[in-house]
Chain A
Amino acid sequence: MEIIETLINGLSSGGTYAMIALGYTMVYGIAKMLNFAHGDIIMVGGYMLYVTMITAGNPMLGLIAAVIFCVLLGITVEKIAYKPLRGASPLAVLITAIGVSYLLQSTAQMIFGTAPKMVIIADMGNFEVGALKIPYYTIVTLVCSFVIMIALTMFVKTTKIGRAMVAVSEDRGAAQLMGINVNGIIMITFAIGSALAAFAGFFMLMKAPSLSNTLGAMPGIKAFTAAVIGGIGSIPGAMCGGILLGVVEAISFKIPVIAPYTDAIEFMILILILLVRPTGIMGKVRREKV
């Protein structure tokens, strides 16, 4: 029974990681940059949710507000901070992203302070079958994250915009010559990534109702790790990576001897996988051209 519970826990937090990792991976695939500030979008979404819940008292309304605000924020950040650097060295873009991450964190701290806020979204009970006892929020997170992932895959596979995204990620120049609005596609990618981050923030707070300005920092880095493990730029890779990381984390926490080393183990896995497959599990090997 304990194994099943641990697995379900792992799958559920893995689902959240996967959702964040999708944001990283899509932006990387299309804009060819690591959006280090992605984790902090989660935090901003969390605060939006908190503010809405205080004023309106409805978590669903809060989720909608958070998603809208995050989408707008994601687009704004892209326009102001990243777009001017398109064509510059990846190093410059990455450092700017780090700057944006710190800017968001310190702005949030300015407004809301450092003391964690408690955001209780919904009071749900347990799902009990025999000795199995799983909180409902775990199941909700699990189901929702899988639904969102499937929907996203369908979106990319079937819609026109989705195909355009794939085209831009394959070859930006060729895509532009084919009449695809590259800037528009990049904007849409940021919007989708930020919306996913807002959802992830909602699920994270549903599970652990503590909101501070570093809410997104560690999950952001873990999801980043997950995206790299799965092969950055690959949508199924990000899902696999996220779920793998979630399950490993849950199992590791369960064994007292190695529990304190959980973070180290997760990062170890990253290094090992990159040693064997330098582009991650499902990453494409790109030939470099001059």
Chain B
Amino acid sequence: MAKAVKRIKWKHYANYIVIAILTVVFSIMSLSGSLTSSTIYLLEKIIIAVMLTVSLSVVVGFLGELSLGHAGFMCVGAYLGGKTACLLQPTMGNSFPALLVSLVVGGAVAALCGVIIGLPALRLKGDYLAIVTLAFGEIVRSIFMNSSSESFGGSLGLTTPRYDKNTLFIIALVLVLGCLAVIQNLIQSKHGRAITSIRDNEIAARATGINVTQYKLSVFTIAAFFAGIAGVLYSFSNYTIQSTKFNYNYSIEILVMVVLGGMGSINGSIIAATLITILDIKLQTILTGNLAVLQDLLYALVLIILVIYNNAPALKGFRERHTLKNYLYKFSKGKHDPSHRADDEAKWDRVPTKIEMNEVLSTEFQPTMSTLNPDQKGDFK
């Protein structure tokens, strides 16, 4: 028994524990009435952002496909969930069952959209897929925008019942836990390894018998489902929802959070979503007038520098020498251990399929970078 307890790697569950503790702490505070409403609104925003970022992270970070239509799935969830809540209000009121039904409807319809958009995605790759998802987001937005005022409110927006703000964010925190459980277990399972292998080399993955089609479709569906759930939460945390909110800029905002958090890191996504949302709100009051644009400028610069630093083939050697881990190691042990390489350790959220299939197997001569890169020279000699 004691052995079994020991075998559990607690660090795998660190994020669950943190969120669970937060849930309990905030529930107690909320019940005792010591949370101000501005804190509650901020918490709601953070939770929605976390859910969106984590779900997009599966598509971008693990499957390696770029989706620019995440706001579209959220939009579907928000409108369908909100409408369901409106329809249920006369019979069920603003109750928990009504919320549950709305969540299921919103999530399911968004997931269905995920399947629909995933189907052409099976035939498309990379850049084509990016434009199709972008197109999807804009189509969805346009449809809700021009709906009649009786159906989805049209340009005035849909007026939705707002759930009790003192309990909504607790439900939302529990939903985030659920979302994490699903996504983390998926990533850690053999399916997760299959998904990351598709990211690293689709053809090789296919050759080893992985059903690429099925995996891509299921990843899209899961991501869309949680985006839909986030959308329903959004509609419950606002009195009105307007489709102008869900434009492609919003999708890109979510993408920025994923990238800043670190591609393929769930914990990174959570932290980035939290910090950026808090920063957004704080900066909104500090930077006014023409200075407000500084914020966008900063994000854009950080995004560019981070992506170049993390991906430039020329910087590969530098990156491996200067990882945070090495520094931490140095700090704790006082000396640098060259055998301690980032790739060697099986981190739970970074599935170690980092074999660069392209570089090893490619018959295409890529003279640009691989020859410049001292680490790779051996492969060609």
Contacts and interface: CB of A to CB of B under 8 A. Distances in A.
A100 B371 CA distance: 28
B120 interface: yes
Given A89-B64, A275-B123, A228 B303 contact: no
B148 to A, nearest CB: 12
Given A34-B130, A113-B290, A264-B143, A103 B135 contact: no
B283 interface: no
A279 B368 CA distance: 26
Interface string A173-184: 100110000100
Pick the most buried of A81, A102, A109, A177: most chain B CB atoms within 10 A of its CB: A102
Contacts of A87: 313, 366, 368-370
Interface in A34-73: 34
Contact residues on A (Cβ < 8 Å of other chain), bracket: 35 or more
Contacts, number: 154
B293 A109 contact: yes
Contact of B303 (A88, A98, A107, A177): A98
A94 B290 CA distance: 28
Interface in B118-162: 120, 123-124, 126-128, 130-132, 134-136, 138-139, 142-143, 145-146
A230 B363 CA distance: 30
A137 interface: no
B129 to A, nearest CB: 9
B353 to A, nearest CB: 14
Interface in A249-290: 260-261, 263-264, 267-268, 270-271, 274-275, 278-279, 288-290
Interface residues of B, number: 60
A110 B126 contact: no
A13 to B, nearest CB: 18
Contacts of B312: 84-85, 88
Interface string B275-306: 00000000000000010011011011101100
A92 B139 CA distance: 26
B368 A290 contact: no
Contact of A110 (B128, B293, B362, B370): B293
B255 interface: yes
Contacts of B66: 91, 94-95
Say whether chain B's binding surface is mostly helix, strand, loop, or mixed: helix
Nearest to A107: B297
Contacts of A177: 365
A279 B127 CA distance: 11
A79 interface: no
A91 B369 contact: no
A91 B60 contact: yes
A137 B364 CA distance: 48
Interface string B300-339: 1101100110111111000000000000000000000000
B362 A290 contact: yes
A225 B127 CA distance: 11
A275 B304 contact: no
A106 interface: yes
A99 B303 contact: yes
A221 interface: yes
Contacts of B146: 260-261
B33 interface: no
Nearest to B130: A94
Nearest to A224: B131
Contacts of B362: 289-290
Contacts of B311: 85, 88-89, 92
B203 interface: yes
Nearest to A183: B368
Pick the most buried of B126, B135, B303, B312: most chain A CB atoms within 10 A of its CB: B135
Given A90-B126, A95-B259, A274-B120, A102 B296 contact: yes
B304 A96 contact: yes
Contacts of A102: 252, 296, 299-300, 303
Contacts of A110: 290, 293-294, 297
B293 A106 contact: yes
B248 interface: yes
B130 to A, nearest CB: 6
Contacts of B259: 95
B363 A263 contact: no
Interface in B325-381: 357, 361-370
Contact of B307 (A92, A109, A228, A232): A92
Contacts of A271: 120, 132, 135-136, 139
Given A92-B311, A106-B296, A228-B128, A261 B142 contact: yes
Pick the most buried of B127, B296, B315, B362: most chain A CB atoms within 10 A of its CB: B127
Pick the most buried of A91, A106, A173, A176: most chain B CB atoms within 10 A of its CB: A91
B204 interface: yes
A95 B120 contact: no
Given A89-B311, A106-B300, A278 B368 contact: no
A189 interface: no
Given A88-B312, A260-B146, A176 B303 contact: no
Contact of A270 (B132, B201, B290, B308): B132
B134 A221 contact: yes
Contacts of A182: 368
Interface string A221-234: 10011001000100
B125 to A, nearest CB: 9
Q: List the 6 closest pairs (A to B, CB-CB), nearest first.
A: A87-B369, A267-B135, A92-B311, A99-B303, A264-B142, A173-B365
11 contacts: A86-B368, A86-B369, A87-B313, A87-B370, A94-B130, A98-B303, A106-B300, A107-B297, A260-B146, A264-B143, A278-B120
Given A260-B145, A261-B143, A289-B364, 8 more contacts: A89-B311, A92-B311, A106-B294, A106-B300, A263-B139, A264-B138, A271-B132, A290-B357
